Structure 1
Amino acid sequence: MKEELIEIIELELAFLGRHIISVASNGTLDRAAYLLLHQLQAQGAIGVKALASSLRLDVSTVSRQASSLDQKGYVIKVSDNFDRRAYSYQITDLGKQELNKYKDKRIEKIKELLADWEENEQQSFGSLLMKFNKSLKKE
């Protein structure tokens, strides 16, 4: 790999991270809450350990985030029928509403940003982002 290409990618990723935070900060959810709610909506009720594993975070971080979302009414704790000490989190209707509202805002912003891109450029960008994120999951 050419060092200069890696340096360009590194810098552009840094800018992307900063810009994504500013684009996403218009809602009531932060990135962590968005991803946690998205995972719960996609998978259904799930335990903290499995949720932490799927988000690639430690259990204490996910537990703290889920507890905060529970206090806001976005998730609820569901007891395990077989082990009363264990529980899962489940997204609530309010959580789904907030998730969808936040997601819609993000999608509108991305549409604005990509409005002058050709469809093949948008498709290539999406494919490359997916490929890059899959590489990160292997870490």
Structure 2
Amino acid sequence: MTNRDEALQAIEQSATALLQRANRAHLYGELLRAGGLDLDDAVYPVLSVVADLGSARVAEVAAAAGIGPTTGSRHLTQLERLDLVRRGIDPQDARAAVVELTPAGKRVIAKMRRARVGLFAEMVEDWSDEELSQFGAHFQRFVLALAERRR
């Protein structure tokens, strides 16, 4: 096996571990708690997507979160009850609803994102600045390549 083959195998194993539902769920739960929320971890991607998209249709939020529209709507209803998101009428199509973060939702997202940065900082605290910089650049390049495949 060549060095390249070994490196590709290590990437495959690491990416698989990163994408495993149990690992994502643990991270999502930890971030929700950091935001002061006691919710099912499946709600995290929906809240995060609303923050990223700004004002968006329910179907767009669900698609971006990788879930069906019914599940997306159910999660959004849960977030709406907590005053983290609000629904409104789509100005371009009155039949459609759009959702966006409320001021409370923006505060929760800010807390969760600070917690996420802190969590990652803990994970790499023993890395040198150079290692961290290289990893950041390479990881970003890898994720961008992954996103390009989706298009």
Q: TM-score, normalised by structure 1?
A: 0.76
- Equivalent position amino acid for 1:76 in 2: R
Q: In the aligned structure 1, how far is the partner of 2:109 from the partner of 2:91? A: 28
Distance of aligned partners of 1:64 and 1:126 in 2 relative to their CA distance in 1, 3 Å threshold = farther
Q: 1:104 maps to which residue?
A: 114
Report the identity percentage. 24
Q: 1:120 to 1:33 in 2, by over 3 A?
A: farther
Distance 1:131 1:62 in 2: 29
Correspondence list, 1:12-91, <5 A: 12-17=14-19, 19=23, 21-26=25-30, 27=33, 28=37, 32-81=42-91, 83-91=93-101
Highest RCO, 1 vs 2 (Cα 8 Å, sep ≥ 6): 1
- What's the offset of the Cα at 1:53? 4.0
CA 1:133–1:33: 2 relative to 1, 3 Å: farther
* Stretches of 4+ aligned residues off by more than 6 angstroms: none
- Partner Cα distance (2:116, 2:40) in 1: 12
Question: For 2:127, what is the secondary structure of its paired residue?
Answer: coil
Give the Cα–Cα distance (whole angstroms) in 1 for the partners of residues 140 and 25 of structure 2: 19
Cα distance between partner residues in 1 of 2:6 and 2:132: 25
1:8 paired with 2:18, answer: no
Given that residues 55 and 98 in structure 2 are in contact (C-alpha distance below 8 angstroms), is that contact kept between their aligned partners in structure 1?
yes
CA separation in 2, counterparts of 1:93 and 1:52?
21
1:121 Cα offset (Å): 1.5
Name the counterpart of 2:125: 115
CA spacing shift, 1:55–1:10, aligned 2, 3 Å: same
Deviation (angstroms), 1:47: 0.7
With the length of structure 2 as denominator, give the TM-score of the two structures.
Answer: 0.71
Deviates more, 1:110-119 or 1:32-41: 32-41
Unaligned runs of 5+ in 2: none
